[in-house]
C-alpha cells in the first residue's frame, strides 16, 4: 500500500513518522514547503503538487486543522479527490464536522474513491508511541483496508459506523475532555477553600477514581491558564459538538453546557492575559 500524507503539524508529523517507520512507501505534500524539511532524510518521497501525490498513493491521509483547510485541499475540480485514481482511499484524521465528511465522501464516491473519517485522540506523545485512539467512520471494506495502516500509529483502532461516525465519537470525546477543565479547576479551588494542601490533593486526584487526562495537564499555580494555548481548537470542537446536537434534534445536556462553560472560562482568561500584556503587566507564570 502506497501512502500519501498531507498535514505535518504537531499531530500529523509523528503520525507520518510512524507510517514511514512501518516501512510503507510514503509520499508527502505540504502547502508550506518548510514543513517538509524535517522529512528530508526520512526516506519519504516529496510530491511537487497534488497531481503527483495522487498518482503516487493508494491511500492519502489528511491531518489539517479545520473544515476549511480540509475542503481547500480535497474538494472541487482542483482538489485532491478529483485527481485520485478510482479505488483509492482518502483518510481524514482531522477533527471536522461530520456533515463535512459526508459531503466529501459523496464527492469521492462519484469518482470511485472511498473516504473514511478517522480522527485521532491522545496527542503527539501517543502518536510517537503508536497508541493513538483512532475512531473510524466509513464502509466496512474501506475500514478493513485501512486498518493495518492505522495500526502503525494507533491502538485501539475502532470502526464506529458509517461515514461521519468517527467524527461523532471524536467530538463526544473532546466535549468530555473540555468539560473536565471547568470541573478540575472547580475541584482544586474548592479543595483550597476547604483548607486542603493543593499539592497533596492533586496527588490524590491524579491517582484516585477522579483522575483524567485533563487533571494530568492541570497546573494549580496557573488554573485554567494551563489550557489557554488550546483555546482555538477547543472552541472549534465544542462548536462542532453543539451544531451536531442541533442537526440531530438532540437537546444539549450536562456535557454540552459544562464543555461550553470551560470554553467561556478559557476565553475570559485569554482576554485577561491580553489586557495585562497591553497594560504592560506581565502575566503570572
Residue 282 has pLDDT above 70, yes or no: no
Determine the 3-state secondary structure of 10 from DSSP.
coil
pTM metric for this prediction: 0.94
**Would you say residue 283 lies in a domain?**
no
Q: What does the DSSP 8-state code read for residue 157?
A: E
**Would you say residue 11 lies in a domain?**
yes
How many Cβ atoms sit within 10 Å of the Cβ of residue 111? 13
Strand partners, 6: 29, 62
Domain total of the chain: 2
Q: What is the CATH number of the domain that holds 226?
A: 1.10.1040.10
Instruction: Name the domain boundary from 140, 162, 184.
Output: 162
**Would you say residue 174 lies in a domain?**
yes
Residues belonging to the active site = 170
Q: Average per-residue pLDDT in the chain?
A: 95
Q: What is the CATH number of the domain that holds 89?
A: 3.40.50.720
Residue with cell string 512507501 = 25
**Would you say residue 285 lies in a domain?**
no
The predicted pLDDT at position 187 comes to 97
Q: Which residues contact 153 (CB under 8 A, 6 or more apart)?
A: 14, 15, 18, 19, 120, 127, 130, 132, 134
Domain ranges, residue 189 = 168-278
**Would you say residue 60 lies in a domain?**
yes
pLDDT average, residue stretch 92-115:
98
Quick one: pLDDT band at residue 240, thresholds 50, 70, 90?
A: very high
Q: Say whether both 86 and 221 belong to one domain.
A: no
**Would you say residue 284 lies in a domain?**
no
Query: How do residues 124-174 score in pLDDT, each as one tens digit?
Result: 999 999 999 999 999 999 999 999 999 999 999 999 999 999 999 999 999
Q: Say whether both 177 and 146 belong to one domain.
A: no
Query: How do residues 48-69 score in pLDDT, each as one tens digit?
Result: 999 999 999 999 999 999 999 9
Determine the 3-state secondary structure of 84 from DSSP.
coil
Using a 10 angstrom Cβ sphere, with 0-12 exposed, 13-18 middle and 19 or more buried, the burial of residue 86 is exposed
The helix, strand and coil proportions of the chain, stated in percent and rounded to the nearest 5, come to 55, 15, 30
Instruction: Name the domain boundary from 162, 184, 214.
Output: 162
Amino acid at each position: 500500500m502506497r501512502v500519501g500524507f498531507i498535514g505535518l503539524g504537531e499531530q500529523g508529523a509523528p503520525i507520518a513518522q510512524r507510517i514511514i517507520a512501518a516501512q510503507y512507501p510514503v509520499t508527502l505534500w505540504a502547502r508550506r514547503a518548510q514543513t517538509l524539511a524535517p522529512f528530508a532524510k526520512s526516506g519519504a518521497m516529496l510530491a511537487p503538487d497534488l497531481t503527483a501525490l495522487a498518482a503516487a498513493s493508494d491511500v492519502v491521509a489528511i491531518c489539517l486543522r479545520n473544515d476549511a483547510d480540509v475542503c481547500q485541499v480535497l474538494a472541487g475540480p482542483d482538489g485532491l479527490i478529483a485527481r485520485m485514481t478510482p479505488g483509492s482511499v482518502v483518510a481524514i484524521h482531522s477533527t471536522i464536522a461530520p456533515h463535512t465528511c459526508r459531503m466529501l465522501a459523496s464527492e469521492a464516491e462519484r469518482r470511485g474513491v472511498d473516504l473514511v473519517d478517522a480522527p485521532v485522540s491522545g496527542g503527539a506523545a501517543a502518536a510517537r508511541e503508536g497508541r493513538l485512539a483512532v475512531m473510524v467512520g466509513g464502509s466496512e471494506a474501506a475500514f478493513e483496508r485501512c486498518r493495518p495502516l492505522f495500526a502503525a500509529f494507533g491502538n485501539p483502532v475502532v470502526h464506529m459506523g458509517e461515514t461521519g461516525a468517527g467524527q461523532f465519537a471524536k467530538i463526544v470525546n473532546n466535549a468530555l475532555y473540555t468539560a473536565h477543565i471547568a470541573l478540575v479547576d472547580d475541584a482544586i479551588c474548592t479543595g483550597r477553600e476547604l483548607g486542603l494542601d493543593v499539592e497533596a490533593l492533586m496527588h490524590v486526584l491524579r491517582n484516585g477514581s477522579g483522575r483524567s487526562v485533563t487533571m494530568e495537564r492541570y497546573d494549580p499555580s496557573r488554573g485554567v491558564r494551563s489550557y489557554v494555548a488550546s483555546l482555538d481548537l477547543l472552541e472549534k470542537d465544542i462548536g462542532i459538538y453543539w451544531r451536531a446536537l442541533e442537526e440531530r434534534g438532540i437537546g444539549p445536556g450536562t456535557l454540552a453546557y459544562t464543555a461550553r462553560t470551560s470554553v467561556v472560562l478559557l476565553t475570559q482568561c485569554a482576554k485577561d492575559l491580553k489586557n495585562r500584556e497591553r497594560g504592560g503587566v506581565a502575566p503570572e507564570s
